[in-house]
């Protein structure tokens, strides 16, 4: 059964829940709620990675280092330090990663595909795990960044090259995770193809994390009856379908907003598989 990584965005502009948990008390309360619902890891981010494109417009705004540290470190301290939770820091800045790791985080979640070796060096200095999410540029879905000869082959090759960079920076192979980066520099069809090919990623020997939750590819694959894309909060069914595919493929973790519902889905699906061929 895959681990559940609960999403905690301490941001004003994340695509799904921007602004809801920007204040520290609300962020800590939501982190506690994710843990109570069954999250194995809380993934905390202080800068949105919302991709630009048709649905989200211009994408995220960059946050100064000091502001990002101000947002995330007290929340990391509360959840990891006082509650003993496993915490991942979702950042592309080495200074933010170092501050969060010092506060008790044990994972760095890098959404820029190991672009900056200093980020991996910060993780190595604290013996932290390192998630490499595939991305190209800022993840604009309507751009040349989506031009692949073969999306599965190309994403795998680029992730494996990134993993070599991370390992050269001092992170051991056993601590490296791969994330195909659904929705980042990918069309909806490309994200669907990656989901159907997760076995290829598992065969690399690296642990695999997938983040399908509430992504725009779900809205494009399953628009509302009137043809318009459903908002992020109305993508639970599509998220559940994607998580079921991830669990069946044997991935190591899924990164989700709706921890309780996804935990229920995974457990019931597992129980049904284990029930075998009973009476019809």
pTM, whole model, 2 decimals?
0.91
* CATH (domain of 81): 3.20.20.20
- Report how far residue 19's alpha carbon sits from residue 39's, in angstroms, rounded to the nearest whole number: 21
Token pair for residue 110?
């890098």
Q: Which of 245, 168, 155, 169 is nearest to 201 (CA)?
A: 155
Our measurement of the distance from residue 204's CA atom to the centroid of its chain's CA atoms, rounded to an integer in Å, reads 19
Instruction: Tell me if residue 215 is catalytic.
Output: yes
Q: How many domains does the chain have?
A: 1
The residue range of the domain holding 98 is 3-274
The answer to whether residue 249 is domain-embedded is yes
- Report how far residue 192's alpha carbon sits from residue 190's, in angstroms, rounded to the nearest whole number: 5
Q: Which of 78, 16, 84 is nearest to 51 (CA)?
A: 16
The answer to whether residue 38 is domain-embedded is yes
The catalytic position among 86, 93, 255, 263 is 255
Asked if residue 180 lies in contact with residue 159, where contact means CB atoms within 8 angstroms, the answer is: yes
The length of the chain is: 280
**Which residues are 89's β-sheet partners?**
44, 108
pLDDT in tens, the chain (280 residues): 999 999 999 987 544 545 677 788 999 999 999 999 999 999 999 997 655 445 544 545 788 999 999 999 999 999 999 999 999 999 999 999 999 999 999 999 999 999 999 999 999 999 999 999 999 976 444 467 899 999 999 999 999 999 999 999 999 999 999 999 999 999 999 999 999 999 999 999 999 999 999 999 999 999 999 999 999 999 999 999 999 999 999 999 999 999 999 999 999 999 998 997 555 4
The answer to whether residue 279 is domain-embedded is no
Token pair for residue 90?
């979702």
The answer to whether residue 203 is domain-embedded is yes
Pairing relation of β-strands 253-256 and 107-110? unpaired
Per-residue pLDDT tens over the stretch 123-167: 999 999 999 999 997 644 446 789 999 999 999 999 999 999 999
- Report how far residue 270's alpha carbon sits from residue 267's, in angstroms, rounded to the nearest whole number: 5
- Report how far residue 15's alpha carbon sits from residue 215's, in angstroms, rounded to the nearest whole number: 9
The answer to whether residue 280 is domain-embedded is no
Instruction: Tell me if residue 255 is catalytic.
Output: yes
- Report how far residue 118's alpha carbon sits from residue 183's, in angstroms, rounded to the nearest whole number: 26
The catalytic position among 215, 235, 263, 273 is 215
């Amino acid at each position: 059964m895959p681990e559940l990584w609960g999403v905690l965005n301490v941001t004003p502009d994340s695509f799904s829940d921007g602004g809801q948990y920007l204040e520290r008390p609300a962020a800590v309360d939501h982190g506690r709620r994710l843990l109570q619902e069954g999250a194995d890891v809380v993934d905390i981010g202080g800068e949105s990675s919302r991709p630009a494109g048709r649905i989200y417009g211009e994408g995220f705004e960059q946050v100064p280092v000091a502001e990002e540290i101000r947002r995330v470190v007290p929340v990391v301290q509360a959840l990891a330090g006082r509650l003993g939770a496993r915490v991942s820091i979702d950042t592309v800045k080495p200074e933010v990663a170092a501050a969060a790791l010092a506060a008790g985080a044990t994972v760095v979640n890098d959404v820029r595909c190991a672009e900056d070796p200093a980020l991996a060096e910060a993780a190595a200095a604290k013996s932290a795990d390192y998630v490499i999410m595939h991305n190209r540029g800022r993840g604009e879905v309507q751009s040349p960044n989506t031009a692949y000869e073969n999306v599965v082959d190309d994403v795998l090759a680029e992730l494996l090259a990134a993993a070599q960079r991370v390992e050269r920076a001092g992170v051991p192979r056993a601590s490296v995770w791969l994330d195909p980066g659904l929705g980042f520099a990918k069309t909806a069809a490309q994200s669907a193809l990656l989901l159907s090919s997760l076995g290829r990623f598992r065969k690399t020997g690296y642990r695999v994390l997938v983040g399908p939750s509430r992504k725009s590819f779900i809205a494009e694959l399953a628009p509302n009856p009137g043809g318009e894309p459903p908002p992020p909060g109305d993508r639970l069914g599509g998220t559940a379908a994607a998580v079921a595919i991830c669990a069946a493929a044997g991935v190591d973790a899924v990164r989700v907003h709706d921890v309780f519902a996804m935990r229920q889905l995974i457990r019931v699906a597992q129980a049904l598989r284990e029930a075998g061929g009973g009476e019809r």
